[in-house]
Amino acid sequence: MTSLFQKLFARHHLSTTITWLRTLSLTPVYHGKPPPEVFRGSNWQPADTIKTDDSTVPFGVPDDWDKYNRIVYPPAAPGEEPRAGYVNHCRTYIRGNIKKYWFLAQMVRGMSVDEAVKQLSFHKLPIAIKMRDTLIEAQEMAVKEHNIEYKSNLWVSQSYIKQALIVKGLRRRPKYSFTAIHYRYFHYMIRLEEGPAPGKEGLYGPQLPELNDRLNKRLEYLNNRKLLGTIA
């Protein structure tokens, strides 16, 4: 059977013929790529969902951040608190230093999406515009793809950056010397959730809640102290 197949179709036409035969089949062909998964119930986080820093694949979406958008949760039981809608989005390989733009990502955490867009629009750093566009893209994805009713009823629950590629180059110097140049890139990853914004205190909790108690104890200690060698 194999020899007959080779006689009918020449070797240089073999790959074209196989491709043509595949087009006649009703099963979809993904050209070597696995079909997209839909995670349900208990298998919502498979073993390959989170990539570690030792991953051999340098390109692609970090941590498979887009897979969280395809999680299908079981229906809520009667009396159970409804689960808030969310959307994950990221922008990969932005040119810049992670230490310089880390505080921008932390600044918008806990804000409503409209307030975060407003704050990033007036920031002086140029990368803030790309971060603002990423938030706007996630806002549009939430309405079009994830059935969020009001695009303004979203807040930034996750916002962080992650180190990407570091490309090394050379800069020529006088007297036959060279200096290494590092072109640094990072990923900006966000998660928007449905509902009112909790703010910084609602997200992180009140800062130093025992501050008043510590202040009162300190004042009480200063008032009760005794100075030796005096008439007091």
Number of domains in the chain: 1
Task: Examine residue 96 and state whether it is found in any structural domain, yes or no.
Answer: yes
- DSSP-derived letter for residue 87 is E
Task: Examine residue 122 and state whether it is found in any structural domain, yes or no.
Answer: yes
Query: Is 90 exceeded by the pLDDT of residue 135?
Result: yes
Pick from 150, 160, 39: nearest CA to 84: 150
Backbone angles phi, psi at 136, to 5 degrees: -65, -40
How many angstroms separate the CA atoms of 202 and 208, rounded? 14
Task: Examine residue 3 and state whether it is found in any structural domain, yes or no.
Answer: no
Confidence of residue 44 (pLDDT cuts 50, 70, 90): very low
Task: Examine residue 46 and state whether it is found in any structural domain, yes or no.
Answer: no
CATH of the domain at 160: 3.90.470.10
- Dig out the tokens for 96 from the structure: 């810049």
Task: Examine residue 1 and state whether it is found in any structural domain, yes or no.
Answer: no
Task: Examine residue 194 and state whether it is found in any structural domain, yes or no.
Answer: yes
DSSP per-residue letters across 2-59: HHHHHHHS-GGGHHHHHHHHHHHSSS---TTSPPPP-EEGGGSS-TTSS--TT-S--S
Beta bridge partners of 86: 193
Task: Examine residue 212 and state whether it is found in any structural domain, yes or no.
Answer: yes
For residue range 181-209, list pLDDT tens digits in order. 999 888 999 999 998 888 877 777 666 66
How many angstroms separate the CA atoms of 51 and 94, rounded? 20
For residue range 144-161, list pLDDT tens digits in order. 888 888 889 999 998 988
How many angstroms separate the CA atoms of 194 and 227, rounded? 60
- The residue with tokens 């997209």 is 36
Task: Examine residue 27 and state whether it is found in any structural domain, yes or no.
Answer: no
Which residues constitute the domain of residue 178?
84-220
- Identify the pLDDT of residue 5: 52
